[in-house]
Chains A and B, each alone.
Chain A
Amino acid sequence: MTTERKIKNIFTQGPIPASFIADSIQKHDTKTNIGGHSIFLGQVRADVIDGNKVAAIEYTAYEEMALEKMHQIREDIFAKYPLVCMHVHHSLGKIATGEICLFVFTSAAHRKEAIDACTETVERIKAELPIWGKEIFENESYQWKENI
Chain B
Amino acid sequence: MPVQVIVFGQLTDILGHQPVTMEDAPDTSTLIQQLNQRYPALVNAPYIIAVDKKIVTGNTTLTGGNTVALLPPFAGG
Q: Residues of A at under 8 Å CB distance from B? A: 42, 59-62, 64-66, 68, 90, 101-102, 122, 125-134, 144-147
> From DSSP, what is the main secondary structure of chain B's interface residues?
loop
B5 at the interface (CB under 8 A from A): no
Number of B interface residues at 8 Å Cβ cutoff, please give it: 14
What are 20 A-B contacts with C-beta separation under 8 Å? A60-B8, A60-B9, A62-B6, A62-B8, A62-B53, A65-B53, A101-B77, A125-B76, A126-B74, A127-B74, A129-B76, A130-B8, A132-B8, A132-B9, A132-B10, A132-B72, A133-B75, A134-B9, A146-B73, A147-B77
Chain A residues with CB below 8 A from B8, complex form: 60-62, 130, 132
- Tell me how far the C-beta of B41 lies from the nearest C-beta in chain A, rounded to whole angstroms: 14
Q: B residues within 8 A CB of A61?
A: 8, 76
Which B residues lie at the A interface, using CB under 8 A?
6, 8-10, 50, 53, 69, 71-77
Nearest Cβ in chain A — how far from B1, in angstroms?
A: 22
CB distance from A74 to the nearest CB of B (A): 15
In the docked arrangement, what's the CA distance between A3 and B69, Å?
Answer: 31
Shortest distance between the CB of B68 and any CB in chain A (Å): 12
| Contacting residues, chain B, for A125 (C-beta < 8 A) | 76-77
